[in-house]
Structure 1
């Protein structure tokens, strides 16, 4: 595989994974819970996610291979835990991409209503998946270029909204700052907004195709989260300060922009949403196949998925399989019922990675074979321990049904794990 992904390309992957359609819709929900004081919840959510990101940064600085949290879990806790993490993230990646492709048609329908319903919607979503699959078959550099273009196209309207909006702020809209008080709603609002930051961990997956991954990936991770936090707070601050009826609004950013940008404001926001969702699709198309490739490379999935095209140096079989699975799910519509497994998939990455920080630190003291960390979180064990407390809090506040679906997905993967172990053992005996 070619190490064609620069620091900027990886940052763009992270931005596309974090900033999606939600940035244009969340301000209305947040304002209804806390009013202007939701800015505090946004800041708190960024700080909490920053702790998780620091854990990924330290553990990721030890490894150069593709796979992200799957690699960290496998190297730290062994084959089965690694398989469970990888299995969950592989399928959630495909399900999420199917949902994103349909989401793209929904936002595109603002300009072309015909693509928002019926068979034309499925055809448009399928065409997007097929196109992005073809793009990524041409090479990781081509796929990264598309991601970078959509990142700039996504950030431009957001930048215009924030830049012009700062000059149209009405101080009276920030009074009262906390209509219902801060303490009663802070936990609920932070929990809601915390999920606006998730997705940053995906930029750690293509480590095997990144320039100097042990330095670039931790740096890209922290830059991505800091930038996304600033963007979220900027969008929310401008939306609150320019539109008094933000609470409960179905299209809060569009309505706020029309206040100081005129009728073109809604069009600008609509274009931003289209570019935002398209960019998220482009990022999913690049990263998702690498999850299957990483597992195949270690024998946890059929070896053919680990094949590399001799010319483009990309995992072409994994790319095609991911595209086909996404197409099938998109056309059938079954992904909507299965997306609930994604909740546990987040924790299946966050919790083992936080524990891995502590385990690998201890292991590296007496095991020279343990790869050294080029980045170390300051504060000793404080950050990983606080991350585990945060994950426990999030799990406690998560619908048990969603967690049960996620656990069921892991159970369904056990026969695959056992079959691949048998095949690997048989191959070793045969040789």
Structure 2
């Protein structure tokens, strides 16, 4: 059977997808009622101001998308604008925000369909949420054609549900059809008083806070940017579809808020868990109630449907740029989707979802309120970095072609950022304890990206590896007992067997943690060669060894350590290595060189870290024991593999002996899972 070709997406489909992405869970389920709770009928002003900002932000996104119409979306924009590190941090925030967005939508669906609490709620809600997370990610795995149809369908439903709420609120349809009279359920009295507070300062503060809390209206633009490679004429189609969507969404939200508040009294509208249902019951009877409840539920799920597609594409582009593990770029032969990225993302979204549901189990605040506030804070960072790129490029490359050019490109983004920061500060001032707790959590999540960036770079860039190891040499010395505990050293020595009087190579000595122990155990008559890629680490090791009087130890710094064994190392009896082979750029070549140094039956023990935080893998060839055994076997070794769980990572022990001589064979790359040598 021949796979169906992947079709390019047109402007209508992009419009419907944008509708589902932007007009998602929060806009109806949470934002409208929450804005009425804080500002009353005057929340209309907040929605009008936000609509203006949304148009400007949308135009800045449209300009950037027209300049960089690639499948990398705003990650690619950040890479071209700010460089590699900044693009990783932006991608990290996008990924966190996207996962939170989908987890929030699933939590909203749980709360909307099962609006009760207790043990039964938590159990059923968790099972319900996991089912939909897996189902939506499975649809993303099936391919873009199916995903496009699904998300566009959600867009049509979203538009239909909005109109089913607005029109019957303004015109009494049952009365019109039954008696031909024109009547309305709309009451102007529900808008009186218009302002909840008589204080000008109080109204400004609450208005600013409300604008911040409903600013999700301009989120969702970033998801659409990842569809450029699959869109017809993306530099024009995406900006045009985005601006059309923003215009229609703004009108719909304003109409929905005004119509809903005209039907429901303020107190009921602000506190109702299912306002759609109440409005439908009043305007269209029991049928209307059921139709709108079901429709709202589908809108909420539609808000979650796009992220599995765009999130997997983000991970794939990061993997292509060597900013994510290599497995993230692997494409399924049949569906043509980055299936391993989708699998990883599914697990991550479930983790985010469970983290939010944990709030119920522990009796904290509404998990949606907590998650939504965290989502706003993190997305604020992505927004600032993205729209400021417009200003950067206006100064950096003024003549550059811009199929869509936004107004006030040099000053507009900065003005929006300043106003948005003021609204954020108003939220901090009015809800300090809750807001500052969210900020702390958000900063922790954001700064976790820095060690992750260092971790990724050390796997792919040998020059970065050297520079980083030099920079962190003294820190490594002070935390050596944590990174390489004595029990791990004892295990290595046990696996090497009797090394007394033998000649030994320590390939990657670090700061000398293992070197000191081995230097004692090979006496009397032994000799130890300790090599490392970092000059500072080698110096620390040499100083420690000299202080101990171990003149039988030779410390060698090798700038090319990641691709070879130093030529000054003679034949040895035993080889040990800790956290070095994982850095090697040409694993097969180095293993052949290690084979050359050993006699038949010469022992080898390699220890590497894997599964950082029980989730993040090391280099791809460490992923499965069979791959490791195959790799070493082709280099002439017979090894076994065992794994021991540490506090923050897993220790992988690879130990055995040389069983045959081999001739080096040049390979283009180390074996990936499933490759043969």
Where on the TM-score scale, by shorter chain, does this alignment land: which range? 0.7 to 0.9
Distance 1:11 1:310, change over 3 A: same
Residue 96 of structure 1: which of 84, 94, 101 is its match? 101
Q: Which has the higher helix share?
A: 1
Match of 2:245 in 1: 224
Structure 1 residue 380: deviation in Å? 4.7
Which residue of structure 2 aligns with residue 248 of structure 1? Answer: 270
1:29/1:247 contact within 8 Å kept: no
1:312 maps onto 2:335 in alignment: yes
Aligned length in residues: 426
> Per chain length, whose mean CA-contact separation is higher, i.e. which structure has more relative contact order (CA < 8 Å, sep 6+)?
1
1:197, 1:64 → 2: CA distance? Answer: 20
> Would you say 1:121 and 2:141 are equivalent positions?
no
- TM-score, normalising length from structure 2? 0.58
Counterpart residue number, 1:262: 285
What secondary structure sits across from 1:117 in the alignment?
helix
- By percentage of residues, which structure has more strand? 2
Matches within 5 A, 1:17-416: 17-22=21-26, 23-109=28-114, 117-167=121-171, 168=184, 169-178=186-195, 180=197, 183=200, 184=203, 185-245=206-266, 246=268, 248-250=270-272, 251-330=274-353, 339=371, 341-365=374-398, 372-397=401-426, 398=428, 399-416=435-452
Whole-angstrom CA distance in 2 between matches of 1:296 and 1:53 = 28
CA distance in 2, matches of 1:374, 1:24: 36
Cα deviation, residue 74, structure 1: 1.3
SS in 2 for 1:376: coil
Please tell me the root mean square deviation across aligned C-alpha atoms, in Å. Answer: 3.1
**2:97–2:379 CA contact under 8 A, matched in 1:** no
CA shift, 1:255, in A, is 2.6
Paired with 1:84 and 1:14, the residues of 2 have a C-alpha distance of 25
List, as ranges, runs of 4+ consecutive aligned residues in structure 1 with deviation greater than 6 Å.
112-116
Task: Tell me whether 1:8 sits opposite 2:18 in the alignment.
Answer: no
Measured in 2, the distance between the counterparts of 1:91 and 1:24 equals 22
CA distance in 1, matches of 2:30, 2:436: 26
- Cα displacement (A) at 1:25: 4.1
Deviations 1:130-149 (A, max 9, x none): 22222221211111111111
DSSP 3-state at the match of 2:448: helix
Asked if 2 retains the 8 angstrom alpha-carbon contact of 1:27 and 1:253, the reply is no
| Distance (whole Å) between structure 2 residues aligned to residue 132 and residue 247 of structure 1 | 31
Shift of 1:334: 6.8
Q: Secondary structure at the match of 2:69?
A: coil
Query: Does the residue aligned with 1:195 lie in a helix, a strand or coil?
Result: helix
In structure 1, list runs of 5 or more residues that go unmatched: none
TM (normalized to structure 1)? 0.88
Match of 2:469 in 1: none
Distance in 2 (alpha carbons) for counterparts of 1:115 and 1:286: 33
Cα distance in 2 for partners of 1:37, 1:392 equals 21
**C-alpha distance in 1 between matches for 2:254 and 2:110:** 28
Report the alpha carbon displacement of residue 190 of structure 1 after superposing the two structures with TM.
2.6
CA contact (8 A) 1:354 1:387 kept: no
Distance of 2:120 and 2:160 partners within structure 1: 25
Where do 5+ consecutive residues of structure 2 fail to align?
Answer: 172-183, 360-366, 429-434, 463-561, 564-584, 587-667, 669-677
Structure possessing the higher radius of gyration over alpha carbons = 2
